[in-house]
Structure 1
């Protein structure tokens, strides 16, 4: 079963990966694909939007005669990651209550 992933959750996952270390687009895609089905054509617009919103910055590093663009989380991105993580934890707790047969009503 494939459960759709919202734009906010995609943002949060990318920011979480970049909070661990700076990385380039293909490596970010590979790390994401280890957890959820996502294509490069989906991920690159996410990276562009995060950059436009000031949540990440970029810098180039030489690699085998070419430049590789790396993404780095900003302080604003870390703040947004904290918010997304808190929202995700609340959402997950609510779903877990239902899946596990409990209710707080």
Structure 2
């Protein structure tokens, strides 16, 4: 997938994933990777920035597999931002698809 496409939609995918349920970092990497190929080096800085922007709150939960895990929980601001990104994405997607269809019809 084109890196610029991925960069543009990554925040929306992360926000939606955490809206569904609180997640810890590696779990989120696995979830997002089902949609776009990402690694921890991409997700963790994004999570830090979005937490600083108050879209997520974090808390620690004990783990049976090692040290406690930091979980991310979406805030009300995060939900509003996610909804805004979805509207923007849908509008952008619709415009691009319409443009491509018009171009295709023009070639026929």
TM-score clears 0.5: yes
- Measure, in 2, the Cα distance between the counterparts of 1:85 and 1:99: 21
Give the 3-state SS of the residue equivalent to 1:101 in structure 2. Answer: helix
Name 1:60's counterpart in structure 2. 60
Structure 1 position 9, deviation (Å): 2.2
Does residue 1:3 correspond to 2:2, yes or no?
yes
- Measure, in 1, the Cα distance between the counterparts of 2:96 and 2:78: 26
Name 1:72's counterpart in structure 2. 73
- Measure, in 1, the Cα distance between the counterparts of 2:102 and 2:25: 40
Structure 2, unpaired ranges of 5+: none
Structure 1 position 102, deviation (Å): 6.3
- Measure, in 2, the Cα distance between the counterparts of 1:30 and 1:56: 18
Structure 1, unpaired ranges of 5+: none
Name 2:90's counterpart in structure 1. 89
- Alignment coverage as a number of residue pairs: 101
Structure 1 position 100, deviation (Å): 2.8
TM-score (norm 1): 0.88
